[in-house]
Structure formats: structure tokens, C-alpha cells
A and B are shown apart, each in its own frame.
Chain A
């Protein structure tokens, strides 16, 4: 159990750094969603199911969805496959 928790925490740190350094905005939002999903597992391992349910519904669900809608509205996600995933993150 401890090793699993350690692995999840390392993934969290890695995700956090990756969110900042990724240049592709769509990939950034997906990593953010993955971060929330990993947090759900961490909450379960820390024995707080209320937080796990809320994080799953809000973080990995609605919050990431709103980010995708924003990306679509500012036309970062374009319809041509070549340009898919859009502008630089700087």
C-alpha cells in the first residue's frame, strides 16, 4: 500500500510540472484531468470517501469539461487534424 501511495504522489508531482511545461493547451487540460483522477485514488487511500466522490465529480468531471469548452471557444482546438491542439502555452 505504501509503495502504491508513493507512486501516486510521484505521479502528482510529475503531472504538476508537466502542466506548466507543456506547450500544447489541449494536452495541458488533459494532464489536469489526469491529476484530478490520481487525486481521487489518493483520497481513497487516505480513507476519505466523501472527498473522493467530490473530486471525481467536480475535478475530473465538470471542471475539466469547462476547460475544454473554454479551449473550444477561444478556437485553440481547430478542426483540421494537423493543427489539432492548438496554440503555444506561452
Chain B
């Protein structure tokens, strides 16, 4: 069992045996860590109770049981209290869908009435998230990028550690047949359709429901299906870590630069060269189509990256 995942397992299940010094040392991967005091860590799921690496005796058992019972009662009480308070608040709030609600105000009116001419997209939601409130969406794309960077920091195995990589790869396909006929036949039919549909959703994000995020997730799911059916060797022929880095970097930089131009011209009341075009055409709505493509590519690479990092620790 991979050592890194042993820590996860110990965290989520009740573990009586401490992580001993050797196990903790090997968790560091290729970097040995000499700090004493690591072996004194017994990982349990109880809140902030740290036990030493000694064996538990009866006294510890009894007090542990008592603390667990108190903890359970208090957590149920806290959850019930929060639920009660929130339910009571909801009854106090404006009712759902009424006409004189506070949210039916001038903000919503302008989005609905002038959204098409100011943004250019027939999908008013795309207008709102990529034109009126584009700064939030820029932040959200970076949230996704941040998540992938954290997962790479956590899970990626170094290139020099080849025997550990081989072990992870073999460990991963331990119980599965190498070439599953049903999966491969299904994938041969489904993957092209899924990818086409994903591309369609991205490109038509400004004309119908969908957009960058959904289309990117669909394409990512298609890639994951291809990988599951045909294995890493065939997928790495066209999608490596380098591909991932290049695509993410290009898409995110394009997003940041184009939005910087848009914000700069907007705030300084300068005219912008980007036109909104004729509504309903595929090449319209200003920057919304290129931004959808950029976001879609980032999301597709991110979903695929999560899957391969979880399975193999590398791409």
C-alpha cells in the first residue's frame, strides 16, 4: 500500500497502531527528514487528542470512550441547533419567486433587457458571468488552477524515483484485466461522441446553455473514459504532463491578459476594439467565445490531471 495513502486511511478509520518512525520517514519520499518527535504521533480521528506511541491501556480506553460519547452528543446537538436556526431564518426571508422580492430590482432588469445588446450573447447567463461580472469568473478559473497545483504538490512522484513509480503503476491495475473487451468496445463508440458533445457545448456557450465549465468537464470525462479503457501508454502518446502545463499556462494567460485589456479600457472609459457582433452567430459576443474556449481547455486538463494524479501519481 502506498505510504502516502496510508496516512489518509489512518485519518479516516480508527487506527490503533501508531505510524512508526520508519513509516513516517518513508512518507517523505525522496527527502529524508531527521526531526525527532515524528514517531510520537498516533493518528486518530478524534478532535485534537494526541496520544503518544505507547500502547493504550485500560485507563486510556475508558477515558477515550467517554470523550467519544461526549463528542458525539455535542456534535449532534450543535448540528440540530444550526439546522433549527437556519430553518427559522428561512421562514423569515422573502418568499420564493414572488414579484416584489428584493432580488427583482434594477440589476436584474438591466441584465434581462439590455444583456443581449451590451454583451452580445443570447445566453444571458454567459453574458453575466463573462461580461458583466468577469472578475469573479477570472477568480474561479484560478481556484481550479490552484486546486490542481495543490494536488500536484501532494501526489506527484518525482521523476528520479523510478521504482516507486513502477510500483504505483502495478499497484493501480492490480485487480483489473489489462484489456477489458466490454469497456474498450463501449469506449470506442462513446469517447468520440462525448468529445464532440463537449466541444459543441463549449463553442455554443454563448448561444445556448452550457459554456466553458460544463463543456470542459464533459471533455475531461471523455478523456478519463479513454484512459480507463485503453491504459496509460496509449493516452500518453498525446497527453503528457508537458501538454498539460502548456495548455493550462496558455489558456490562463490568455484569459488574464484579455480581461486585463477589457477592465483597463472599461475603467478608463476608453473604447474597446472588441465588438459584440450579430447576436445568434457563432462568431459573436465579443470575448465570450474565446474565454469559453480557454476555460474549457483548462477545465478539461484539470479533470484529467486529477484522475491521473490520483491513480498513478504522474501524467
Contact = CB atoms under 8 A, between A and B. Distances in A.
Consider the complex of A and B and state whether they touch directly, i.e. have CB atoms less than 8 Å apart: yes
Interface string B122-156: 01011000000000000000000000000000000
Given A49-B209, A62-B220, A74-B8, A57 B175 contact: no
Contacts of A50: 123, 125-126, 209-211, 214
A24 B211 CA distance: 37
Contacts of A61: 217-218, 221
Interface string B194-211: 000000010000000111
6 contacts: A50-B126, A53-B209, A61-B217, A62-B303, A66-B310, A70-B310
**What is the interface residue range for chain B against chain A?**
20 to 34
B306 interface: yes
Interface in B208-227: 209-211, 213-214, 217-218, 220-221, 224
A58 B126 CA distance: 18
A81 B232 CA distance: 27
B307 interface: yes
Interface of B: 1-2, 5, 8-9, 12-14, 45, 123, 125-126, 174-175, 201, 209-211, 213-214, 217-218, 220-221, 224, 303, 306-307, 310-311
Contacts of B14: 88, 90
A54 B220 CA distance: 12
A73 B174 CA distance: 11
Interface string A17-54: 00000000000000000000000000000001110111
**Chain A interface, DSSP helix/strand/loop, else mixed:** helix
Contacts, number: 69
**What is the interface residue range for chain A against chain B?**
20 to 34
A75 B5 CA distance: 9
B2 A88 contact: no
Contact of B2 (A53, A57, A73): A73
A69 interface: yes
Given A50-B210, A54-B214, A61-B221, A75 B1 contact: yes
A62 B307 CA distance: 8
A8 interface: no
A71 B9 CA distance: 9
B74 to A, nearest CB: 16
Nearest to A77: B175
Given A50-B211, A53-B201, A73 B310 contact: yes
A73 B201 CA distance: 33
A48 B12 CA distance: 36
Contact of B307 (A57, A69, A87): A69
A70 B155 CA distance: 12
Contacts of B213: 54, 58
Contacts of A54: 213-214, 217
A69 B153 CA distance: 18
Nearest to A62: B303
A65 interface: yes
A79 B214 contact: no
